[in-house]
Every structure is written in C-alpha cells, then in structure tokens.
Structure 1
Amino acid sequence: MNDVLHKLPEFAGNHLALSALFAILLVALVAGEVGALFRKWKMLTPASLTQLINRDTPLIIDLSASADFEKAHIPGAKNVAMSQFDPETQKDLSKAKELPVVLVDKDGRGVGKAANRLIKAGFARVFVLDGGTYAWQNAQLPVAKGKK
C-alpha cells in the first residue's frame, strides 16, 4: 500500500487530464451527497412508498404529462400538470399541509423543484418517488390507467 501512495504523485503528474477529471467527479459526487443531506424533502423507493401508503394516507401528486398519466400511474394519484403546479393557490393542496405529500413523475427527475416549492409553502412532510412511475412499474406494483 505504501508503494502505491509513493507513486501516486508521479501518476497524477503524468496524467493531468485523468487527475483533473477524477477531482471534478469527486467534488460533484460529494456536493450531491451533501445537498441530499440538507434538503428538506426525502426520496422514497417504491417499497417505502408502499409502506407509507399502508401507514398513512398520503396525497400522491403525479406531475407527469396527461398522456403519460393516462398510460400508467399509481392508483389514487392526482394528475397536476407541472405548469399548473402552484402549492400556494391550489385549494386541494392547501387543505393537505399536514398530510404526507408524495410527488411523482414519469422518471423521478423533474420533481425536485416542485418539492422545494411545497416546502416553501409550509408543507412539513414532502416526499419524492425515486425513479418515478418507471421505478413503480419495475417493482411490479399495481398501476392504474386512464384519467383517474
């Protein structure tokens, strides 16, 4: 092990591009993990969402496009277009400030901003389904089709 540590500076000097790329990736990874520690909402796996549904009665909001929602969505989810998502003006949401709120979309990538808006509007228990509807389907959990 000592031999590797002694040769590391020589390797880094001979391979500046690789060393710089490694440093950039390491910083990005650490920044992402630190950001996840300090955000106020939590990521859920399909299994943990199932547990939450069985324990509580969460409000599940699907922010997918209408066509994607009609193809497949979590049973009981309400479809709200991302462009119309405003937690401060929607009456259904203002009544649910004490309920756990779960945000879902097609692949789980576009809901972080919506989760932050919910936190800003005073919602205490905000969750995001990691992987979205795709992860739910891959876990072979039931889906509903159609508008409701």
Structure 2
Amino acid sequence: MDQLIEFVTNHYILSGLFAAISVALVYSIIAGQLSSVKDLGTHEATLLMNKEDAYILDIRSVAEFKKGHVLGSKQIKADLVNKADFSPLEKLKDKPIIVICAMGMTSKRTAAQMLKAGFENVVTLKGGFNAWQSANLPITK
C-alpha cells in the first residue's frame, strides 16, 4: 500500500489520467445499460428486418448514403433530424425502426428523440454502417 501511495505522489499526472479513464469507462457502461434506446448487433438487426419487416432509417449524410447503404434503407434529411421533426415517419409509429449512422454513436440521440416523439419500437445498429459492412452484409449504392 505504501508503494501505491508513493507511485501516485510521484506520478500524479499519470495517476490522474488513469482515474479519469476509469471513470469514463464505468460511466459509458452504466449509461449504456440504463439507456431507453437498445442497440442491436448485425445478426439481431437482420432478424428484425426479415421477421418483423423493420424500417431501416439511415441518418448519415447524402454523400455517405450514395457511396453505399443497407439494402432497403431510407434516408431522412439532416435538418429534420436536427430539429427532431419526424413527421414524414408518422405512419411508422407502431412499426419497428432501426436507426443507422456511420459508427453507431449519433443514432442513439436520434432514436431517443424518436422515442420521445411517440415512436414505439426504435433501436439502433450497434457499430452503425461500419459494423454492417464489416460483417459483409448486403449493401447497395
């Protein structure tokens, strides 16, 4: 124990960084568990698409969407997403919706906004479009 105290006092910057990273890691794990938005892996997303005819909502930029997107996915305009205006999707409120972004980070915010707007079954693709591509699942241009 004395060595630990000596190390911390001699290397306070390194120890502080270690503590900050540890807190950030614990926070991200707990926040993910408590989030109302659920992440699906590529396998679960494929099952949801095939069995429940899920609507695939791509929120990436137009340029990224044109380079390649999940087969059957639809894109929503970025300004509508920024305003949390999902009126073009009103008829889909009771249908399962999978929100996809590039890496699975920004889709969580959009999915949370959709849940607040009254959509019943909104999930995100864990790892986003990059995970879909890495799994060698079908894409179209």
**Shared fold per TM-score greater than 0.5:** yes
Equivalent pair of 1:87/1:94 in contact (CA under 8 Å): no
Alignment correspondent of 1:110: 106
Write out per-residue CA displacement over residues 95-144 of structure 1, whole angstroms, 9 at most, x where no aligned residue.
Answer: 21221111112232322221111011112221111222221111000001
Q: Tell me the TM-score normalised to structure 2 length.
A: 0.88
* Percentage identity across paired residues of the two chains: 34
Alignment correspondent of 1:37: 33
- Report which stretch shifted further, 123-132 or 80-89: 80-89
Q: Tell me the TM-score normalised to structure 1 length.
A: 0.84
Equivalent pair of 1:72/1:133 in contact (CA under 8 Å): no
Letter in 2 for 1:40: S
* Cα RMSD after superposing both structures: 1.8
Distance in 2, matches of 1:48 and 1:133, equals 14
Distance in 1, matches of 2:31 and 2:57, equals 24
Equivalent pair of 2:86/2:114 in contact (CA under 8 Å): no
The gaps in structure 1 that reach 5 residues or longer are: none
The gaps in structure 2 that reach 5 residues or longer are: none
Alignment correspondent of 1:57: 53
Write out per-residue CA displacement over residues 37-76 of structure 1, whole angstroms, 9 at most, x where no aligned residue.
Answer: 1111111221221122122111110011112112211111
Change (3 A) 1:100 1:89: closer
Alignment correspondent of 1:90: 87
Q: How many Å apart are 1:32 and its aligned residue?
A: 1.1
Determine which of 129, 133, 136 is the counterpart of 1:140: 136
Q: Which runs of at least 4 in structure 1 moved beyond 3 Å after TM superposition? A: 86-89
Equivalent pair of 2:80/2:86 in contact (CA under 8 Å): no
The 3-state SS of whatever aligns with 2:66 is: helix
Q: How many Å apart are 1:81 and its aligned residue?
A: 2.0
How many residues get paired? 140
Equivalent pair of 2:104/2:127 in contact (CA under 8 Å): yes
